[in-house]
Chains A and B, each alone.
Chain A
Amino acid sequence: DIEMTQSPSSLSASVGDRVTITCRASQDIYNFLAWYQQRPGKVPELLIYDASTLQSGVPSRFSGSGSGTDFTLTISSLQPEDVATYYCQKYNRVPLTFGGGTKVEIK
């Protein structure tokens, strides 16, 4: 099965900073990658699908890029409401697999 590795596992940044999270697949998954945000105590929410398509209603400071095995989620200007754990998920075929998560905090 394909493994999804996220890095870093956690980060702390200041409001307004540019934040980048990386997700690496153990095999080529083309662009079949989604990103989710899970705020503390809340349900996961879809941010991005097909590696770079923003889900409706998601702020434009979020963006995704990459294809093949290496992907990134970027927050262009970190806001207090972005404190959350972020997960990537591959869907080229079952089993669907999530990355281990990246916890983002405000410095």
Chain B
Amino acid sequence: QVQLVESGGGVVQPGRSLTLSCAVSGFTFSSYTIHWVRQAPGKGLEWVADISYDGSNKYYADSVKGRFTISRDNSKNTLYLQMNTLRVEDTAVYYCARDHYRSGSYYMDYWGQGTLVTVSS
């Protein structure tokens, strides 16, 4: 069955860096766009970034542009999110989610369980 498993979350000080991973199984990873979506505690959903099936196209929310970098390793069936210069407002559960299509940014049909990132001094 389709599985997306995030890891790498934790507590980090403001201004520091953290890298999240999303390991995928149950489908052909290299055939789909994948997203990162986050949810601050008690708040709604916020799209963060996505990357096309081959990594050639990447898109970011304005709130993370220039600080976060999305990447993928199709040989390892793994998605990454490098987060630099973290802010308190980046505190959230981070989900990876599969897009319905291989290229372009559409809607998410499978979601991981999420990993919590807490930015605090």
Contacts and interface: CB of A to CB of B under 8 A. Distances in A.
Contacts of B107: 34, 46, 49, 89, 91
Contacts of A96: 35, 47, 50, 105
Contacts, number: 57
Contacts of A100: 44
Nearest to B4: A43
Interface string A88-103: 0101011111111100
A28 interface: no
Contacts of A66: none
B19 interface: no
B62 A98 contact: no
Interface residues of A, number: 24
Give the 10 A-B residue pairs with the shortest CB-CB distance, closest first.
Answer: A34-B107, A96-B47, A98-B45, A94-B59, A101-B44, A43-B111, A91-B106, A49-B107, A46-B109, A94-B105
21 contacts: A32-B106, A34-B107, A38-B45, A43-B111, A43-B112, A43-B114, A44-B45, A44-B97, A44-B108, A45-B111, A46-B108, A46-B109, A49-B100, A91-B107, A93-B105, A94-B50, A94-B59, A95-B61, A98-B46, A99-B44, A100-B44
Interface of A: 1, 32, 34, 36, 38, 43-46, 49, 55, 85, 87, 89, 91, 93-101
Interface of B: 35, 37, 44-47, 50, 59, 61-62, 95, 97, 100, 105-109, 111-114
